[in-house]
Amino acid sequence: MKKRISLLMGMVMTAAALTACAGGAKTPATTAAQTKAEETKAEETKAEETKAEETKAQEITKLRIAYMPNMGSASLAVTARDKGYFKEMGLEVEMVEFQGGPAEIAAMASGDIDISQIGHGAHALCASGEAVIFQIDCTSLADAVIGNKAKGINTIEDLKGKKVAVTSGTSAEIILNLALKSKGMTTDDVELVEMDANGTVSAVISGNVDACATWSPGTGTIMKALGDNGIMLANNQDYLDQVTFPSSFITTQKYADSNHDVLVRFARALQKAGDYRAENIDEVAKLVAKQCEVDEATMLATTEEGNWLTGEFMGKALADGTIKSYYENQQKVFLDAGRLEKPVDVNNYVLFDIMQEAYDENHK
């Protein structure tokens, strides 16, 4: 009897052990299933996040950019566009040609243009509150005062009483003012004829005016056409001890207030393009020639008419205040010329924070 009971108890214990083993076997299988489900969910979440990021990246910001048909004005934006730097930053640009900075600023005020590239002279309008600067481009050597010897002009003094074509509010007008001032003269001593850049070239070559203040590539076209009768009376190089001639990208205060990120991305593209331009200036000149619909030789002849700034320069010049000094010294010229009534803090119209943020993002 005892033997039977012992046998029965043994069977019961064995069954219990088997049941326990069977129950324990479910734990790893259940855990594996749960892990697989969690991994699948994590992958789906990651895929959704990636898709969201790709969708955001595909939301291209479209911009209308004003430029003038010369190396100093068009080269940086053309490089950024043609070499893919704008695209890299999620920007799609339409470049619109103008004949001068003041007209570009008027177009921005009306909402027809988002961003403009301006030469030295139009910066006075920024200091007056009509626009804000957010990226320096280059320093220009492209402006000149040219006389026609056949009209009796051989020196700056010979401009007295002569017809001089000029585009108001431009860098070339500043050069004319400085040239006249150097000889104790003012614009009251000459007969100014208001013209855009294209009209100036035609007027000088045809002899309808006696001299002009303009910029490249028009200067080269005029000198070539006049031949031995053409004489360069003054240019930027003559006054570098008095002022630097920066050109810049600008926008309206309203646009800047609502599009900080867009301006940073735009400035990042420009700063990257600046490095490419400096290293490949002849190639860039050919791109600009195509954009401006002029022959390559004309644009290649202007590659020395600018100091093509790089990212390395940008970092150092922002840190030591060089760029700020450019705009401060520039303002002194406007004050001396009567373009501004009183000094203005450059921080009021130059967005150094955009330049710095763009530089920092590009050099992480």
Expressed as residue numbers, the domain containing 214 is 143-239
Residue 7 pLDDT more than 50?
Answer: no
pLDDT score of 336: 83
- Do 226 and 259 lie in one domain? The reply is no
Tens digit of pLDDT for each residue in 68-96?
A: 999 999 999 999 999 999 999 999 999 99
User: Is residue 286 one of the residues assigned to a domain?
Assistant: yes
pLDDT over 90 percentage in the chain:
68
Sequence-distant (≥ 6) Cβ neighbours of residue 6 within 8 angstroms: none
126, 250 contact by CB (below 8 A): yes
Phi then psi dihedrals of residue 316, to 5 deg: -70, -45
Tens digit of pLDDT for each residue in 89-122?
A: 999 999 999 988 999 999 999 999 999 999 988 9
- Do 267 and 177 lie in one domain? The reply is no
Domain count, the chain: 2
Q: How would you list the strands of the sheet with 230-235, edge to edge?
A: 191-194, 163-166, 211-215, 143-148, 230-235
User: Is residue 92 one of the residues assigned to a domain?
Assistant: yes
What type of residue is 292?
C
Residue 4 pLDDT more than 60?
Answer: no
Domain final residue pick, 175, 205, 239 = 239
- Do 131 and 101 lie in one domain? The reply is yes
pLDDT score of 220: 86
28 pLDDT band, cuts 50/70/90, is: low
User: Is residue 169 one of the residues assigned to a domain?
Assistant: yes
- Do 171 and 120 lie in one domain? The reply is no
- Do 115 and 186 lie in one domain? The reply is no
Residue 181 pLDDT more than 70?
Answer: yes
- Do 198 and 124 lie in one domain? The reply is no
Task: Give the residue with greater pLDDT, 64 vs 143.
Answer: 64
- Do 234 and 253 lie in one domain? The reply is no
User: Is residue 105 one of the residues assigned to a domain?
Assistant: yes
Domain final residue pick, 223, 239, 255 = 239
Residue 17 pLDDT more than 50?
Answer: no
Beta strands (DSSP E) in the chain are 61-67, 91-97, 115-118, 132-140, 143-148, 163-166, 191-194, 211-215, 230-235, 246-251, 306-308
Instruction: Provide the CATH number for the domain around residue 153.
Output: 3.40.190.10
- Do 307 and 325 lie in one domain? The reply is yes
pLDDT score of 258: 97
- Do 332 and 304 lie in one domain? The reply is yes
- Do 223 and 268 lie in one domain? The reply is no
User: Is residue 51 one of the residues assigned to a domain?
Assistant: no
Domain final residue pick, 239, 263, 290 = 239
* CA gap 79, 276 in Å, rounded: 8
Average pLDDT of the chain? 87
> For residue 23, with 0-12 CB atoms within 10 Å meaning exposed, 13-18 middle and 19 or more buried, which class applies?
exposed
* CA gap 250, 77 in Å, rounded: 13
User: Is residue 201 one of the residues assigned to a domain?
Assistant: yes
The mean pLDDT of 299-311, rounded to a whole number, is: 92
- Do 150 and 194 lie in one domain? The reply is yes
* CA gap 89, 361 in Å, rounded: 12
